């Protein structure tokens, strides 16, 4: 709440009143807002006159006018207090302030009541962002603002009937000034008009047509600029943080990629497409790389003097390191570790050292033992030199504390030369003082701007496009090799999971229930057969089991719903 108490008194007033909404009036207004606003807008001066006369009997129309004027006043009052003419920013802030949870739920309710389309519940939080959607949320915000102003009004009129008059006087003079100065509110009201039209004809469906989205771009830059201003104003990052995390509920538009009529790209087509795109600024990037390459001999010297080298900066450093390797390390023993590879572990790194560099056959009980062995060998034989190149030292698999400790100890050996690259913004947090001193880093900034082709190709987490087809094909593939009974079992589970897909906290199907269902479908005859079957699934990573809080085993297919649906469809076709 304290955040809302800005410097402007007007704003505070608005906020105070907000807590006493007059539901009846609100609803009343809500019914005919759409048309009224448009009607009133063109002649504010006439409205003013009329208003003076009919102060006592305020009809719905007047209420609407007042509401609109108040809306101006709200922005105006801020304009007046802000001689810099930054009214746009502040009004943005005011709108923004609606986001506190208590009201935002109400807002959403009201807004949806008004708009009758689910899309309306979009918060303005989102409007800050992508230009395309800016239009919709803003207008709905304006509605919200209107509602509030009106509720203020409705309260005011109970006791001070002269207030509007005073307000209007203030309003009258700077009206034109307001138009030019406060772009935000101006554009808002324009948009409001559009919005109203849309609403009356209920054009809006859940999905925007491409034509419409292309029409939009004339407005957004301005709006986003205004928002920018505002962002700069509250430059305190701490505040921004809490701003972003204050509301437990984050509102964004409900659009999903599925509704977007575009086929999902898989990895290969993605690659092909990207190949067609010429690399932007190739010349400059090349120049950058050449700069970095001129440092190679220096790196070599420093590596030999006991330092280790870490590269940071935007862009893939894979090629750079590769070039370093081919140009300087051709004749020496070196080990390249692709940290971005999803199944890399410290153990595999150590194994490759012991097996391939030291020609040691045998296993070790723990990585620590292995490390000790390596240390001993390297200390005994000082002619043994090893260059270790690690791409993405900060990757998922290697960023753990223990693996870093082991790598640090490895790198601290005088004849092991480590050169690594990091990309993650928080990568330096991996290391504490002790590890840093073991690593003995020298930092080099190598911003290459080259795309992370290798590094990102293993990431299937990027929900956008990739994994879907792959998972589906592997599902069908595995299932095809199973017995009909097993297929049936899996189907049961999949169907059950799809039924429960709306339940966010769905833990999975408990084993007992599943057994019951399978028995009813004559798929298994005993507990044991089901278990055997499930083990097979688990081995193929088709299902996942986990124990709930009550000790019951829950089964879950770790595939997203859409893939599962299409899988079932496929199955039906097959059958």
Partner 1 sequence: QKVQEDLNKQLLDNLVSFFSRSHSEFQEKTTEWTCRMKFKEIPTAALVLGVNVTDHDLTFRSLSDFLQNNITPYIAFLEAKDCPGIKNLMQKLMGQLMNCYIDVDSLEDEDYVQVSQNRIRCSMSSLVKWYESVTKQTNSETPSKKRTFSSTHWQSPPVVVIFKDMESFTTKVLQDFVVISSQHIHELPLVLIFGIATSPMIIHRLLPHSVSSLLCIELFQSLSIKDHLSTIIDKLLLTGQFPFKLGGKVLQVLINIFLYHDFSVQNFIKGFQLSIVEHFYSQPLSVLCCQLVDLQKRVNSLSHDQCENIRRLPSFRRYVEKQESGKQVALLTTDNFLKEETQKLLEDLHVYHENYVLVLRCLYVFTSSLPKYPLGKQIRELHCACLENQVWETEEYESSLQLARMLNKSDLVTMLQQCVEILLSSSRKEFDNTVEKLKKFLTQFQNLEAEAFQEQDVSVSSQKEFQKKTDLYHLQKTLLELKESRRSKKLTKFEMLRFEVVDYIDSLVRKYLVPADHRTLHEILYFNTAAVLRGHLNAAPRTALHTALNNPHWYLKNQALKCDGGSISNKAPDICIVYKLHLECGRLINLVDWLEAFSTVVMAGEEPNAETASSDQMDDIIHARFIRAVSELELLGFIKPSKQKTDHVARLTWGGC
Segment 429 to 448, residues that bind partner 1, using CB under 8 A: 433-434, 436-437, 440, 442-445, 447
Residues 320-379 that bind partner 1 (CB under 8 A): 368
Residues 97-156 that bind partner 1 (CB under 8 A): 125-126, 128-133
Q: How far is the CB of 131 from partner 1 (least distance, A)?
A: 5
Angle at CA 139, nearest 5°, toward 136 and 145?
140
Q: How far is the CB of 338 from partner 1 (least distance, A)?
A: 14
Assess 253 for contact with partner 1 (CB under 8 A). Answer: yes
Nearer to partner 1, 285 or 335 (CB): 285
Among 35, 200, 274, 532, binds partner 1 (CB under 8 A): 274
SS3 187: helix
Say if CB 512 and CB 552 are below 8 A apart.
Answer: yes
Among 315, 339, 367, 468, binds partner 1 (CB under 8 A): 315
Residues 373-432 that bind partner 1 (CB under 8 A): 405, 422-428
SS3 351: helix
Assess 521 for contact with partner 1 (CB under 8 A). Answer: no
Among 45, 159, 162, 245, binds partner 1 (CB under 8 A): 245
Contacts for 427-434: CB closer than 8 Å, 24+ residues apart: 427/312, 427/393, 427/394, 427/399, 430/394, 430/399, 430/401, 430/404, 431/404
Say if CB 333 and CB 387 are below 8 A apart.
Answer: yes
Among 232, 502, 520, 572, binds partner 1 (CB under 8 A): 232
Q: How far is the CB of 375 from partner 1 (least distance, A)?
A: 13
Q: How far is the CB of 495 from partner 1 (least distance, A)?
A: 20
Nearer to partner 1, 340 or 490 (CB): 340
The DSSP code for 464 is: T
Residues 453-482 that bind partner 1 (CB under 8 A): 455-456, 459, 461-465
DSSP letters, 192-248, are HHHHHHHHHTT---SS--HHHHHHGGGSHHHHHHHHHHHHHHT--HHHHHHHHHH-S
Q: How far is the CB of 543 from partner 1 (least distance, A)?
A: 19
Strands (E), 262-321: 308-312
Assess 215 for contact with partner 1 (CB under 8 A). Answer: no
Assess 568 for contact with partner 1 (CB under 8 A). Answer: no
Nearer to partner 1, 410 or 489 (CB): 410
The DSSP code for 332 is: S
How many angstroms separate the Cα of 202 from the Cα of each of 146, 378, 482, 554?
21, 76, 52, 46
Among 6, 174, 313, 488, binds partner 1 (CB under 8 A): 313
The footprint of partner 1 on this chain (CB under 8 A) covers a number of residues equal to: 88
Q: How far is the CB of 238 from partner 1 (least distance, A)?
A: 9
Nearest to 540 by CA among 471, 491, 493, 485: 471
What is d(CA 458, CA 285) in angstroms, rounded to the nearest whole number? Answer: 24
Structure tokens at 443: 């930092």
């Amino acid at each position: 709440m304290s955040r809302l108490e800005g410097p402007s008194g007007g704003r505070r007033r608005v906020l105070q009143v907000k807590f006493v909404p007059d539901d009846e009036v609100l609803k009343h207004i809500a019914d005919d807002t759409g048309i009224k606003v448009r009607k009133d807008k063109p002649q504010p001066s006439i409205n003013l006159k009329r208003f003076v006369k009919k102060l006592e009997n305020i009809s719905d129309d007047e209420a609407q006018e007042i509401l609109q004027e108040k809306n101006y006043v709200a922005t105006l009052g801020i304009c007046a207090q802000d001689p810099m003419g930054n009214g746009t920013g502040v009004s943005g802030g005011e709108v923004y302030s609606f986001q506190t949870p208590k009201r935002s739920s109400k807002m959403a309710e009201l807004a949806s009541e008004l708009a009758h389309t689910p899309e309306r519940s979009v918060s303005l939080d989102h409007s800050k962002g992508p230009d395309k959607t800016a239009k919709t949320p803003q207008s709905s915000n304006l509605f919200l603002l209107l509602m509030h102003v009106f509720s203020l009004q409705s309260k005011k009129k109970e006791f001070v009937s002269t207030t509007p008059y005073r307000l209007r006087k203030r309003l009258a003079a700077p009206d034109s000034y307001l138009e030019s100065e406060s772009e935000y509110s101006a554009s808002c009201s324009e948009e409001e008009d559009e919005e109203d039209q849309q609403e009356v004809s209920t054009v809006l469906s859940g999905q925007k047509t491409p034509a419409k989205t292309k029409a939009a771009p004339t407005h957004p830059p301005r709006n986003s600029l205004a928002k920018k201003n505002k962002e700069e104003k509250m430059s305190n990052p701490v505040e921004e943080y809490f701003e972003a995390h204050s509301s437990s509920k984050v509102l964004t538009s409900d659009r999903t990629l599925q509704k977007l009529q575009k086929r999902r790209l898989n990895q290969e087509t993605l690659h092909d497409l990207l190949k067609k795109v010429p690399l932007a600024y190739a010349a400059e990037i090349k120049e950058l790389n050449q700069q970095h390459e001129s440092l190679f001999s220096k790196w070599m010297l420093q590596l030999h003097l006991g330092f280790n080298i870490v590269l940071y900066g935007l862009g893939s450093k894979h090629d750079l390191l590769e070039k370093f390797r081919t140009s300087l390390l051709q004749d020496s023993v070196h080990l390249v570790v692709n940290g971005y590879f999803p199944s890399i572990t410290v153990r595999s790194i150590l194994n490759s050292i012991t097996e391939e560099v030291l020609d040691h056959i045998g296993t070790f009980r723990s990585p620590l033992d292995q490390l000790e062995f390596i240390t001993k060998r390297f200390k005994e034989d000082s002619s043994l030199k090893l260059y270790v190149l690690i791409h993405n030292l900060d990757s998922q698999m290697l960023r753990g504390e223990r693996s870093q400790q082991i790598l640090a100890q490895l790198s601290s050996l005088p004849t092991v030369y480590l050169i690594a690259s990091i990309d993650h913004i928080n990568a330096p947090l991996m290391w504490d003082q002790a590890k840093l001193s073991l690593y003995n880093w020298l930092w080099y900034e190598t911003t290459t701007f080259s795309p992370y082709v290798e590094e990102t190709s293993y990431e299937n987490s990027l929900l956008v496009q990739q994994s879907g087809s792959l998972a589906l094909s592997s599902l069908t593939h595995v299932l095809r090799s199973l017995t009909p009974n097993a297929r049936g079992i899996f189907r049961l589970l999949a169907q059950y999971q799809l039924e429960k897909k709306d339940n966010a906290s769905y833990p999975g199907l408990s084993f007992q229930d599943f057994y019951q269902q399978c028995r009813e479908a004559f798929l298994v005859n005993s507990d044991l057969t089901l278990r055997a079957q499930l083990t097979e699934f688990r081995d193929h990573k088709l299902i996942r089991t986990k124990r709930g809080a009550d000790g019951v085993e829950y089964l879950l297919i770790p595939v997203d719903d859409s893939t599962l649906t299409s899988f079932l469809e496929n199955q039906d076709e097959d059958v």
